[in-house]
Amino acid sequence: MNQLVHFENAKRELQLATNVDEVKDLRDKAEALRLYMKQAGESLQMQNQCAEIKVRAERRAGELLKVTTVKGGERHKLLDGTCERVSKLEDIGISKSQSSRWQAIADRLCLHSPWQGRIKKSETGKS
């Protein structure tokens, strides 16, 4: 039960994240936790929950990257319409291929996609 609370909190944090730095930090933590769970021999379900948070974070990062135009640290438009000075991709530890891949994930995976439905079914234990 406690694990489910942490999982729901991580999903909520991703939804509330407003910049790529926050999302990348959550993604990196989810991947580190997944690798730890695997190494510790924890259940596949726990490992998959960590992997799901990682994929959700990549999708969210892609959404945020799509609405900002990263051009050498210039001003960038945020989701709320304001502008913010953002570092280059390299400065926040994101490669060009990651940026491209995450934006592609955001394009393909929306909240109403069949993939999302499979996640919901797996969380309830029904396939």
Q: Which two tokens stand for residue 19?
A: 């910049």
**Contact residues for 44 (Cβ-Cβ < 8 A; gap 6+):** none
Q: Which of 20, 116, 7 is nearest to 68 (CA)?
A: 20
Q: Please report the pLDDT score of residue 117 as a whole number.
A: 47
Residue 125 lies in a domain: no
Give the count of domains, the chain.
1
Helix (H) or strand (E) holding 45: helix 44-67
Q: Please report the pLDDT score of residue 93 as a whole number.
A: 84
Residue linked to tokens 């936790």: 33
- The rounded average pLDDT for each run of 10 residues, N- to C-terminus, in the chain (127 residues) is 74 87 92 94 91 93 78 58 65 86 82 48 47
Count the Cβ atoms, other than its own, within 10 Å of residue 5. 9
Q: Please report the pLDDT score of residue 75 as a whole number.
A: 55
Residue 124 lies in a domain: no
Question: Which residue range(s) make up the domain with 109?
Answer: 2-119
Q: Please report the pLDDT score of residue 84 as a whole number.
A: 59
pTM above 0.75, yes or no: no
